[in-house]
């Protein structure tokens, strides 16, 4: 009898300890999930995880759950075309195919994030923030595509849209907790001009490649020439020949009428000048293409570099949305390039991008997307619109994303065709494509083609004025005055300390990865 009582007491004690540990684990989950936007989903995701001996790793669990839910079987999308008319089925296929590609890109970034989290969450914080921000961007892009089309069976696109909402909520919770990780990334405390002998190269760039980028002569892996004097006559053929690692393609002067899509890492294109070597396309939404499908050049492989080359879409203003360039390349660089179109010229979709001494032309939302992109010493040229001009349209859809557009030391001017009539149209620095849109213009010269209010609402979304972040700092020129700017809660005239957050160093961690393109660039403020 005494042995039975003793055993009963021990069992009771073990049960109490177990219950106490589980209660402590639940408290830990509840406390962490309070910092997320979708706390109930966060807690539900963690239900049953952890043990009496160990607190659950909430971040790893959330990423793993997001990966699991993103891994959709092929049958998930094929079911949407069942019982549809042939024409409608083809249209649905184009959307589901686009979404499949986006979810594949999302999975890639989630897998990278999970690995980086395991290796060193503190050291890799900026990478993890960037990659999960990109995963959210791809989910939103799929949702936008589904929401923008009407079919006889409205449930089809609604199911995709709701699935993307769910994935976005999972990703948002993960990102909210990643943003709370203490960072080991250090920044330069003052403005630093990186000169010839003081350039920072990424770890993946070999000494041979660094030497290549430091000298004017091009030592290419492949040469493209229309006249047959190179290895290839088309850029597409040269890119297809890339076998991995850094692959440099020298493209001789000429107009190359090609539609190029590449997902290869490490591609470098070097031309004979931004107006001498030009890649040209003319696809447009009005001509039957999808918005992303209209792009003349699409790159989704990482580490892409373009120098002295032009990207154009010649569909004209009647083409509506017509992309010249679509970029979803982490650590991508565009140096001395021209990017020309009208509406939606440059789709800077995602990840970390740097543009230096580029000429970018357009009318409506001609720099748009949800990348973390810095435009430095560029010319942003307004063309003659059919309605009004808008330069920046940031698609930041979650307050935790480390994305946005930073325009520094640039010239905002009318193009030659627009200059004589610039006061007959309204032109704006930007508008909020999504609720948490973020864009700053600093240390730049602004022509008086820009309306005194500076910024404009997205049609039907006046409420975004509280959640967006638009700001200016130390601009000059006849259009730079801020006294007449919008009075939205989300608009700011920044001080120096705030502006420093949007520099190459602070915003895209450029001093730790930005390869040399033979140019002196500014790390901080001027």
Percent of the chain with pLDDT strictly greater than 90: 71
Mean pLDDT (whole number) for 217-234: 90
Mean pLDDT of the chain: 87
Give the whole-angstrom CA distance, residue 526 versus residue 513: 21
pLDDT for 318 beyond 80: yes
Q: Which one from 127, 209, 365, 447 is the annotated catalytic residue?
A: 365
Task: For residue 48, give every residue at least 6 positions away whose Cβ sits within 8 Å of its Cβ, in sequence order, or none.
Answer: none
Yes or no: domain 221-344 corresponds to CATH 2.160.20.10: yes
Q: Which two tokens stand for residue 91?
A: 């249209």
pLDDT at 86: 65
pLDDT for 211 beyond 90: no
pLDDT for 259 beyond 60: yes
pLDDT for 422 beyond 50: yes
pLDDT at 49: 60
Task: For residue 145, give every residue at least 6 positions away whose Cβ sits within 8 Å of its Cβ, in sequence order, or none.
Answer: 95, 98, 99, 290
pLDDT for 229 beyond 80: yes
Tell me whether residue 302 is one of the annotated catalytic residues: no
Give the whole-angstrom CA distance, residue 439 versus residue 346: 15
Kindly report, as residue ranges, where domains of CATH 2.160.20.10 are found in the chain: 221-344, 363-525
Tell me the residue ranges of DSSP E strands in 252-349. Answer: 254-257, 260-262, 267-270, 277-281, 297-299, 305-307, 310-313, 325-327, 332-335, 338-340, 346-348
pTM of the model: 0.90
CATH superfamily of 363-525: Single-stranded right-handed beta-helix, Pectin lyase-like (2.160.20.10)
Kindly report which listed range (6-20, 336-350, 405-419, 430-444) carries the lowest average pLDDT score. Answer: 6-20
Report the DSSP pairing between strands 193-194 and 521-522: antiparallel
Give the whole-angstrom CA distance, residue 245 versus residue 518: 20
CATH architecture of 1-180: Up-down Bundle (1.20)
pLDDT for 504 beyond 60: yes
211 or 507: which leads in pLDDT: 507
pLDDT at 190: 42
């Amino acid at each position: 009898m005494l042995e039975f009582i003793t055993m009963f007491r021990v069992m009771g004690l073990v049960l109490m300890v177990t219950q106490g540990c589980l209660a402590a684990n639940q408290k830990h989950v509840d406390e962490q999930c309070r910092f997320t936007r979708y706390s109930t989903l966060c807690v539900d995701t963690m239900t049953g995880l952890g043990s009496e001996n160990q607190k659950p790793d909430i971040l790893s669990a959330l990423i793993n759950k997001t990966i699991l839910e993103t891994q959709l079987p092929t049958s998930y999308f094929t079911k949407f075309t069942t019982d549809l008319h042939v024409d409608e089925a083809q249209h649905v296929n184009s959307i589901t195919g686009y979404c499949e590609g986006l979810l594949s890109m999302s999975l890639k970034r989630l897998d990278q994030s999970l690995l980086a989290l395991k290796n060193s969450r503190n050291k890799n914080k900026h990478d993890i923030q960037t990659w999960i921000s990109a995963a959210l961007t791809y989910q939103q892009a799929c949702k936008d595509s589904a929401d923008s089309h009407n079919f006889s069976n409205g449930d089809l696109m609604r199911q995709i849209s709701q699935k993307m909402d769910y994935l976005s909520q999972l990703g948002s919770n993960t990102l909210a907790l990643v943003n709370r990780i203490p960072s080991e990334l250090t920044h330069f405390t003052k403005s630093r001009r990186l000169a010839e002998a003081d350039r920072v190269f990424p770890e993946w760039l070999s000494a041979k490649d660094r030497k290549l980028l430091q000298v004017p002569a091009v030592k290419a892996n492949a040469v493209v020439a229309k006249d047959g004097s190179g290895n290839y006559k088309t850029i597409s053929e040269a890119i297809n020949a890339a076998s991995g690692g850094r692959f440099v393609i020298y493209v001789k002067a000429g107009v190359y009428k090609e539609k190029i899509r590449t997902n290869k890492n490490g591609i470098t294109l070097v031309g004979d000048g931004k107006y001498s070597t030009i890649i040209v396309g003319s696809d447009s939404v009005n001509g039957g293409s999808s918005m992303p499908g209209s792009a003349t050049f699409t790159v989704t492989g990482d580490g892409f570099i373009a120098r002295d080359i032009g990207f154009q879409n010649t569909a004209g203003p009647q083409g509506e949305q017509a992309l010249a360039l679509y970029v979803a390349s982490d650590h991508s660089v565009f140096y001395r390039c021209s990017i020309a179109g009208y509406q939606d010229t440059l789709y800077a979709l995602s990840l970390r991008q740097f543009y230096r001494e580029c000429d970018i032309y357009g009318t409506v939302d001609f720099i748009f997307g949800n990348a973390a992109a810095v435009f430095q010493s560029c010319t942003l040229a307004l063309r003659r619109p059919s309605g009004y001009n808008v330069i920046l349209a940031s698609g930041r859809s979650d307050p935790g994303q480390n994305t946005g557009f930073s325009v520094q030391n640039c010239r905002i001017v009318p193009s030659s065709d627009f200059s004589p009539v610039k006061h007959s149209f309204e032109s704006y620095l930007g508008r909020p494509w999504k609720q948490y849109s973020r864009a700053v213009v600093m240390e730049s010269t602004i022509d008086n083609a820009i309306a005194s209010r500076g910024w404009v609402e997205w049609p039907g979304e006046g409420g975004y004025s509280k959640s967006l972040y638009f700001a200016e700092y130390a601009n000059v020129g006849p259009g730079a005055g801020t006294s007449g700017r919008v009075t939205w809660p989300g608009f700011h005239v920044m001080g120096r300390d705030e502006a420093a957050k949007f520099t190459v160093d602070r915003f895209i961690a450029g001093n730790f990865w930005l390869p040399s393109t033979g140019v002196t660039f500014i790390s901080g403020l001027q």
